[in-house]
Structure 1
Amino acid sequence: MKASIPPTGGGNKAQEPVLLKMGVPGLDDVLGGGLTAHRLYLLEGAPGAGKTTVAIQFLREGVANGESVLYVTLSETAHELQGVAESHGWDMKGIEVREMLPAQDALEPDEQYTMFHPSEIELGEKTLRILADVDKIKPSRVVFDSLSELRLLAGGSLRYRRQILALKQFFTGRQCAVLLLDDLTASDQDLQVQSIAHAVIRLEQLNPDYGASRRRLVVTKYRGKEFRGGYHDYKIARGGLQVFPRLVASEHTPPIKQTRIPSGLVALDDLLGGGIEKGTSTLFVGAPGTGKSSVAVQFAITAARRGECAALFIFDESINTLRTRCDGLGMGLGPYIDSGHIRVRQVDPAELSPGEFVHEIRLAVEQHKATMVVIDSLNGYLNAMPDERFLIVQLHELLTYLGQSGVATMLVGAQHGLIGMQMQTPVDASYLADSVVLLRYFEDGGEVRQAISVLKKRGGAHERTIRAFSLDAQGIHVGAPLRNFRGILTGVPVPIDGVRSPS
């Protein structure tokens, strides 16, 4: 029996439209809450984009709410639909499936139409069968899969448009929400249904030169409803389709209190003017091996010691390598990972879409209450983007969101080159970060040494000195200011008055 939909509002207040949940994680957020009841919608995408999966999830959500639902298939058999459901661990219980496929005897030469066009016979027959099933089942949700068959049977754009308009009028009078699937196999893009539908959702699949396929969706139209525009990444995994809504930082503006977070190293905190502030971002930049990641992890360990949660997203090394490296520095990362105070996510740029990466960060902040996020490194983050020119825009939105959430963000950026003033960074994020910490190699007495300095800090005053920096089995060491050298940042400094700087 069809579930009754309770009225909303009361008195003289205007009633809010009833919204139907899609049953697809993240998609209701994109749609502004779901699909308005008793309307006709279009879901389009190339074969393999996930239309059938979304359709089944949409109907399963209706079944879970006690509604009567109908799946009308004009191209796939019920057995094939069952196979799709089983691949996700679902059953089709509660979903009425009606096959509108040609009979086997249609292959016989005697059964081929010679005097009439198929649209004059088959279209009318199938339409009558569909209408009879709807009157019998009285569904509140109906899926048509797919429009390609109706388009071919109609034989012309005028007849096709009139057929869709008639179906729309029929279902609206019977309080049905109709989801039409279109596989875009027509030679020319057909805008007939787009103009008729109440909302249009398009699924796209991108195939980069290397790595897994990237999928994204866009809502091109939704009459009388605010929705989240732009492209949103999604993936198809066992359990169905999952959408990662585009991050809009302006929607997350809780008040935060500016407090300093220490690193646990007195000299480093002095260099940073007491530490870093909550809700700010810090960029550690330097040549490979200068200790950028180690300093970022030091802040994360200090936060874990205070009982807070820190989230590390690493692109350039494995979790085992990270643990081994930290053990070699006496930092003991393992116990904090095991206790859950430090959560490490190894990111494969070839497999993870930018939208899913942002979704993982949001989960760390909103579900696991992470107060610190480390992205190591920006170079890997750059490679995770399908199109480089959008990296800075998305990074700006991400940092704004984290800042408004009171999260201290650590960014690690590796420069090209080892020594000299011609060091280059693949992406310049220094103007986005609130603080910039520079680590450099320099030559001294036949040895390669390291130096650390703070170039920028919006949260307050900081030291202008360049300090000695080193790593050993006892951990991180920040030494005294290198006042007896000139030209340290060139990589080949000159001693002043022939006196060497202390270590």
Structure 2
Amino acid sequence: MPDPQLSPPDDAAPIPTGVPGLDSILEGGYAANRAHLIEGRPGSGKTTQALQFLIDGARLGERCLYITLSESRRELISVATRHGWSLDGIEIFELVPPELSLDPRQQQSLVHSSDLELGETVRLAVAELDRVKPQRVVFDSLSEIRLLSQGSLRYRRQVLALRSYLLIHDATALLLDDLTAEQDDLNLHSLCHAVIQLEQLAPLYGGERRRLRVIKMRGTRFRGGFHDFVIRRGGLTVFPRLVAAEHGHSYAIDRLGSGNQGLDALLGGGLDRGTSTMLLGPSGVGKSSTALAYVTAALARGERGLILSFDEPTGILRRRAAGLGMAVDGPIADGRLRVEQIDPAEVSPGELAAMVRNAVERDGARVVLIDSLTGYHNAMPGEQYLLLQMHEILTYLNQQGVTTLLVLAQHGLVGQMSAAVDLTYLSDTVVLFRYFEADGHLRRAVSVVKKRVGPHEATIRELRIDGDGLRVGEPLVGFRGVLTGVPVFQGRLPAEGAGPERDLPVGSGDRDSHERE
């Protein structure tokens, strides 16, 4: 049985990292009284992450020490000021090796510089640790120790000695490494309790993308894989990778109507709760307006919604909704509808998933519209990642009982169509929109080609969009080839007095034109 004095119950217990989102990935935070390696190229965010760790400790009243060999006190204070932080309560120790000092009294010539520099550097660091007795300490950076060691064996011994000293004195440490060696030194991975790697990626266009990965953490479960993060005023914010299986939830079976009798009839009464619907068609055919009808219907029922808009500014969306008689200004003002205008070049996929989660879990959104998947695809590094990301998001939303609307624009206007990415297999319902020509007029057609839950019509109806909103006509029963864009009328027209005008297909044109044919 282990001695409780050697293994106290709270040994290696998780402590907060001070970085939003990172505690969730680490299952609670850093391990207390252990050394953690934070590695990444210059500019990836190591110093900012380390400062957040110490600032959180100072807020809790803990003794905190920042030992720096690479950045000066002035530079650290400048970084903190730009983020709106105060470093009060944090000891900053600038460790300058004697050989690098401009003070001639600290220079020597009788002993090899590497021998004296390394020994003096470690001695000064240990002396400062003895003086402050910190509970949280940051050592920035190990790259300087590597350069002073001039050999991998000596370097490993010094890092091992430093780690053992910190462990004996119950200090939770972050050891920063900027990976400036020609090859990544994996010796550190075996010495440290945990290894977190930060990466900064530069796409061909748009802002840089940052992500982190927990390579190891002894004795603790953690969320693996890459997680996006951003650095803004206030520090790092990490967006844990969404895992839909962790968010199982039951919900009441319900159906969401659009308020349009013809559209709901086409969809067998409306959209079922906890399903995803893709609206597919060329640009301008009415996909976004149709999706917006379901969003406003949900708002009218007192529900909350989220719109992720890639293709149009919020102001244009509001004017378009007002022109169709759909009220969105009031719900936006009182917070029931949240509209996020997304710039695909600046927003990472992880941040998008975090927006969805916050809207559902924090704001209680019951309907989510992504307009459009074409813009979302541009935010992803590749098609295969888009499929995986959308699979997780849609599964998560379905499990939460959220009605999801996805708009996907196809290439072309009339005739053969194609899409940049095929996500129809992920959707529970697929609504297809087409332009077609009849009697010299360009018209719109709408049909449901897939619905997993419940019945739906197999007909094709004409869709009209004007100042009165959306109007869905009767089935186009006399036409062939509507989906090709150039239909042929083959049906028989009803005799005179056969019934009211609504008995005619909305897109069939006037009687005289067909008789002339």
Give the TM-score band, short-chain normalised.
over 0.9
Q: Counterpart in 2 of 1:436?
A: 430
Shift of 1:105: 8.0
Q: What is the one-letter code of the residue matched to 2:95? A: M
Q: Counterpart in 2 of 1:238?
A: 233
Structure 2 unaligned spans of 5+: 494-503, 508-517
> Residue 23 of structure 1: SS of its match in structure 2?
coil
> Residue 216 of structure 1: SS of its match in structure 2?
strand
Name the CA distance, whole Å, in 2 between partners of 1:188 and 1:326.
57
Query: Is this contact kept in 2: 1:486–1:495, CA < 8 A?
Result: yes
Computed over aligned residues only, the root mean square deviation of the Cα atoms, in angstroms, reads 1.8
Q: Counterpart in 1 of 2:28?
A: 33
Shift of 1:386: 2.2
Choose which of 452, 470, 490 in structure 1 pairs with 2:484: 490
Name the CA distance, whole Å, in 1 between partners of 2:100 and 2:336.
66
Q: What is the one-letter code of the residue matched to 1:385? A: M
> Residue 459 of structure 1: SS of its match in structure 2?
coil
Q: Counterpart in 1 of 2:514?
A: none
Q: What is the one-letter code of the residue matched to 2:364? A: K
Q: Are residues 1:124 and 2:109 paired?
A: no
Q: Counterpart in 2 of 1:5?
A: none
Name the CA distance, whole Å, in 2 between partners of 1:17 and 1:124.
30
Choose which of 341, 348, 353 in structure 2 pairs with 1:353: 348
Which piece of structure 1 moves more, 439-448 or 113-122? 113-122
Shift of 1:323: 1.1
Shift of 1:75: 1.3
Choose which of 506, 512, 517 in structure 2 pairs with 1:502: 506
> Residue 317 of structure 1: SS of its match in structure 2?
coil
Choose which of 440, 445, 455 in structure 1 pairs with 2:439: 445
Shift of 1:274: 1.0
Q: What is the one-letter code of the residue matched to 2:267? A: L
Shift of 1:270: 1.0
Q: What is the one-letter code of the residue matched to 1:382? A: H
Q: Counterpart in 1 of 2:459?
A: 465
Shift of 1:319: 0.7
Name the CA distance, whole Å, in 2 between partners of 1:38 and 1:401.
37
Q: What is the one-letter code of the residue matched to 2:448? A: V
> Residue 431 of structure 1: SS of its match in structure 2?
helix
Taking structure 1 as the reference length, what is the TM-score of the superposition? 0.94
Q: Are residues 1:424 and 2:382 paired?
A: no
Q: What is the one-letter code of the residue matched to 2:304? A: C
Name the CA distance, whole Å, in 1 between partners of 2:320 and 2:454.
32
Q: Are residues 1:139 and 2:134 paired?
A: yes
Q: Percent identity?
A: 53
Name the CA distance, whole Å, in 1 between partners of 2:283 and 2:492.
30
> Residue 461 of structure 2: SS of its match in structure 1?
strand
Q: What is the one-letter code of the residue matched to 2:476? A: L
Q: What is the one-letter code of the residue matched to 1:502? A: V
User: Structure 2 matches for 1:354-433, cutoff 5 A?
Assistant: 354-420=349-415, 422-433=416-427
Q: Counterpart in 1 of 2:500?
A: none
Name the CA distance, whole Å, in 2 between partners of 1:196 and 1:350.
39
Shift of 1:151: 0.7
Q: Counterpart in 2 of 1:6?
A: none
1:59-83: per-residue Cα shift (whole Å, max 9, x none)? 1111112211111001111111100
User: Structure 2 matches for 1:153-192, cutoff 5 A?
Assistant: 153-192=148-187
Structure 1 unaligned spans of 5+: 1-8
Choose which of 34, 42, 45 in structure 1 pairs with 2:40: 45
> Structure 1's 426 and 191: CA in aligned 2 closer, same or farther, altered over 3 A?
same
Name the CA distance, whole Å, in 1 between partners of 2:267 and 2:378.
30
Query: Is this contact kept in 2: 1:485–1:501, CA < 8 A?
Result: no
> Residue 474 of structure 2: SS of its match in structure 1?
strand
Name the CA distance, whole Å, in 1 between partners of 2:398 and 2:269.
19
Q: Counterpart in 2 of 1:456?
A: 450
Taking structure 2 as the reference length, what is the TM-score of the superposition? 0.92
Name the CA distance, whole Å, in 1 between partners of 2:363 and 2:47.
33
Shift of 1:340: 1.7
Choose which of 206, 215, 235 in structure 2 pairs with 1:211: 206
Name the CA distance, whole Å, in 2 between partners of 1:46 and 1:217.
12
Name the CA distance, whole Å, in 1 between partners of 2:146 and 2:98.
19
Q: Are residues 1:93 and 2:88 paired?
A: yes
Query: Is this contact kept in 1: 2:367–2:402, CA < 8 A?
Result: yes
> Residue 101 of structure 2: SS of its match in structure 1?
helix
Name the CA distance, whole Å, in 2 between partners of 1:144 and 1:105.
18
Q: Are residues 1:197 and 2:185 paired?
A: no
Q: What is the one-letter code of the residue matched to 1:391? A: L
Query: Is this contact kept in 2: 1:216–1:233, CA < 8 A?
Result: yes
Query: Is this contact kept in 1: 2:36–2:195, CA < 8 A?
Result: yes
> Residue 413 of structure 1: SS of its match in structure 2?
strand
Choose which of 280, 288, 306 in structure 2 pairs with 1:285: 280
1:183-241: per-residue Cα shift (whole Å, max 9, x none)? 11111211111111111001100000100000000011111111010000000000010
> Residue 425 of structure 2: SS of its match in structure 1?
coil
Query: Is this contact kept in 1: 2:11–2:32, CA < 8 A?
Result: no
Shift of 1:14: 7.4
Name the CA distance, whole Å, in 1 between partners of 2:400 and 2:366.
9
1:315-368: per-residue Cα shift (whole Å, max 9, x none)? 011111111111222223222212222111100001000001111111111111
Matched residue count:
491
User: Structure 2 matches for 1:104-123, cutoff 5 A?
Assistant: 106-107=101-102, 113-123=108-118
Q: Counterpart in 1 of 2:294?
A: 299
Query: Is this contact kept in 2: 1:43–1:200, CA < 8 A?
Result: yes
Name the CA distance, whole Å, in 2 between partners of 1:107 and 1:239.
36
Q: Counterpart in 2 of 1:262?
A: 257
1:466-496: per-residue Cα shift (whole Å, max 9, x none)? 1111100010001101101111111111111
Shift of 1:266: 1.3
> Structure 1's 175 and 82: CA in aligned 2 closer, same or farther, altered over 3 A?
same
Shift of 1:117: 2.5
Shift of 1:460: 0.6
1:409-468: per-residue Cα shift (whole Å, max 9, x none)? 000001111122x21011111110000001111111111111111111111111111111
Shift of 1:109: 8.0
